[in-house]
Structure 1
Amino acid sequence: MIELQDFRTARKAISDHMRLTPVFAARNFGDISGFVARDRIPEMFLKLENMQVSGSFKARGAMNAALALEPEQRSAGLCTASGGNHGMGVINAARTLGVPVKIFLPTNTPQPKVKKLRAQGVDVALIGAVWDDANRAAMEHAHESGMAYIHPFADPKVIAGQGTIALELLEQQPDLDTLVVAIGGGGLIAGVATAARLLRPSIRVIGVEPTGAATLFESLKANEVATLPSVNTAATSLAPRQSSALNVDLIGKNVDRIALVSDEEMQKSAKWLWKEFGISVELSAAAGIAAVMNDRLGDPNPGRVGVIVCGTGMDGFE
């Protein structure tokens, strides 16, 4: 079990290394003609994790997991497999600790992210067609090298770190009725939903996945960890073929619904965020907006809606 104290402990541990990201009310919309729900868009409050250290929320979980390692574990360095953002978070943690780092990426990682990671001057390897392939290689390398492996989502310390977002958000905007959270492997939503429900049992939590990578949607439907035969989405950071039992369990207990959105809907939402608010995000970070703007929350009256804008980038414009 992950308890409320775990999230509070994580917040204390990482606070000197993270930014308190802002929340702002998205009101007085301009052109919303391209969205299904244009006549009934709820009041939205955006938590801008695209402004977090390393460019996404992933820095939180990576830092919390790295700080929890014993000194001798840290000294050999850190390694992981990533769709990009978690890799940047692990690099940030490694630099904070002053230890080596190696990042494994699948070949479907968007080129801007590959270039961004390589520009950090660290060891980056492209292996496998999808994240699951790169992850196997990372785990093998950790075993052979003695490096500490930091899982991007199936780790209680990582989940606790990501859940610190909920503690902040519900302090910054305490009257929210619904939270909308993008899902990749499930670390973000597992942490945010669990922490939010411990604080506010009545709050509604909606997860969002691409139609081409409905990993958690299928897992909850089957009531077990499902493995997709393939993934088909440009939002590669939301596209593992498989999650984990830990994430499926926490999400099943604390998430009300998983909505599905198309790549086209995410791209339209990313462009809208830029045009309307000057916020530049990767495709996956627009998933929550896409669910709201296309009436996928499964509730005609969702109340005041908090949306986590999870990462910066430009692939939402390509």
Structure 2
Amino acid sequence: MIALSDIEAAARRIAPHIRRTPLLAATALREPVSTAELFLKLECLQPTGSFKVRGATNRLLLTPAEDLPRGLATASGGNHGLAVARSGALAGVPATIFVPRTISAEKLAKLRDWGATVRLEGAVWDEANVAARAFAAETGAVYIHPFGDTSVIAGQGTVALEILEALPDLDVILVAIGGGGLVAGIASVLKALKPAVRIVGIEPVGSPTLRASLEKGAVTRLDAVTTRVATMACGKTEEIVFEIARGAISEIVLVEDEEMLEAARWLWREMGLAADLSGAAALAAIRSGRLDLPPGAKVCALVCGAGSEGIQA
């Protein structure tokens, strides 16, 4: 498990290198989505466009300097890769990012803009990850897991500290889940500081990784991953994520890819926010009607990733 003190230390450590993102009240809407009091945590405004910069930066700063000269390596659907690429730029070392062929063209271009070497491998993250681990073992590069690393999870958890400072009477938080590092970090904070908060995870219908594991009572590999959302496509979570999640998450709502696209369009129309589909997942769950939010409840939805899907559509 991850202690609150680890997350508080991560917050101090990464503070000079990340942005403290706004918590924006979703008011004055033409098309309201809920009778709850909705707030959006805008992690899409981080330097690389997602919360992932928190965990990757914490992992970098905890890595001994003598381990860095051979560079960094990871596998990613896009957002974690961008965070690791930026970490390599901060440290002045090369970053090699393995991505599935389903990665968006926009994120692929951004990875190269950060100076990373990008390798296309497999149809889903799990296949890219096998190649990334093999590369790290062969070259000595520092491998940074996107969700199974305790220092990465602690970094992601720092977003919850900011939310509670801005909204201490929070009732419900909605969190998109790919591998589960973000929800594990947030749950670690809320269990320690405000255990009454209802934590709702959001997964694609085509990649219900954590829900399948929670239903079976053990970490479970999906038979198939069919979502087109590369940043949320994961066939198997990690044991540490599962152990934290099963004692903290109230429920998991599944959303269709098209519902995330429509939610990204809503965020652009109503809020002027350019979100990727994972960044729109929490709004998709609200708009779907499959989530019961009491009138007047204070609800925080994470807009966890930036993208142009809602603008282009």
| TM-score, length-scaled by structure 1 | 0.95
d(CA) in 1 for partners of 2:228 and 2:123? Answer: 13
Task: Quote how far apart the aligned CAs of 1:76 are.
Answer: 1.9
Counterpart of 1:94 in structure 2 is 88
The 5-angstrom pairing of residues 203-242 of structure 1 reads 203-242=197-236
The 5-angstrom pairing of residues 281-300 of structure 1 reads 281-300=275-294
Counterpart of 2:156 in structure 1 is 162
Question: Quick one: percent identity of the two aligned structures?
Answer: 46
d(CA) in 1 for partners of 2:229 and 2:168? Answer: 31
| Runs of 4 or more consecutive aligned structure 1 residues displaced over 6 Å after TM superposition | none
d(CA) in 1 for partners of 2:94 and 2:122? Answer: 23
Aligned alpha-carbon RMSD (Å): 1.3
> What is the CA deviation profile of residues 69-91 of structure 1, one whole-angstrom value per residue up to 9, with x for unaligned ones?
11111222111001011011001
Alpha-carbon distance change, 144 to 280 in structure 1, aligned in 2, over 3 angstroms: same
CA contact (8 A) 2:37 2:295 kept: no
Counterpart of 1:35 in structure 2 is none
Task: Quote how far apart the aligned CAs of 1:294 are.
Answer: 2.2
**Secondary structure of residue in 1 paired with 2:274:** coil
Counterpart of 2:121 in structure 1 is 127
Which residue identity does 2:63 align to in structure 1? L
CA contact (8 A) 1:206 1:297 kept: no
Counterpart of 1:16 in structure 2 is 16
d(CA) in 2 for partners of 1:191 and 1:113? Answer: 24
CA contact (8 A) 2:264 2:309 kept: no
Which residue identity does 2:244 align to in structure 1? L
d(CA) in 2 for partners of 1:213 and 1:193? Answer: 21
Q: Which runs of 5+ in 1 are unaligned?
A: 33-37
1:201 correspondence with 2:195: yes
**Secondary structure of residue in 2 paired with 1:46:** strand
The 5-angstrom pairing of residues 1-318 of structure 1 reads 1-32=1-32, 38=33, 40-300=34-294, 303-316=297-310, 317-318=312-313
Q: Which runs of 5+ in 2 are unaligned?
A: none
**Higher mean C-alpha displacement, 265-274 vs 230-239:** 230-239
Alpha-carbon distance change, 249 to 213 in structure 1, aligned in 2, over 3 angstroms: same
- Equivalent pairs, count: 312
**Secondary structure of residue in 2 paired with 1:284:** coil
Task: Quote how far apart the aligned CAs of 1:301 are.
Answer: 5.0
**Secondary structure of residue in 1 paired with 2:77:** coil
